[in-house]
């Protein structure tokens, strides 16, 4: 993804791992602010630190 997403908010379900985390990473690199959801709080907290 090379589109400028600065100032945009992206909501990603399943963003703690796997494909969802990969998508979250791409949007974060494009400058988007993220809201990620998932089933396991510890996984989401780890993803938050990495993103």
- The residue extents of the domains of the chain are 1-33
Give the gyration radius of the chain's Cα atoms.
Answer: 10
Q: What is the pLDDT of residues 3-46, one digit of tens each?
A: 899 999 999 999 999 999 999 999 999 999 999 999 999 999 99
Q: Which residues pair with 13 in a beta bridge?
A: 37
Q: Is 36 helix (H, G, I), strand (E, B) or coil?
A: strand
d(CA 41, CA 1): 27
| Predicted local distance difference test score (pLDDT) of residue 3 | 84
pTM for this predicted structure: 0.87
């Amino acid at each position: 993804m090379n589109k400028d997403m600065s100032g945009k908010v992206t909501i990603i379900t399943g963003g703690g791992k796997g494909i969802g985390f990969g998508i979250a990473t791409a949007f974060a690199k494009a400058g988007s602010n993220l809201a990620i959801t998932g089933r396991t709080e510890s996984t989401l907290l780890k993803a938050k630190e990495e993103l």
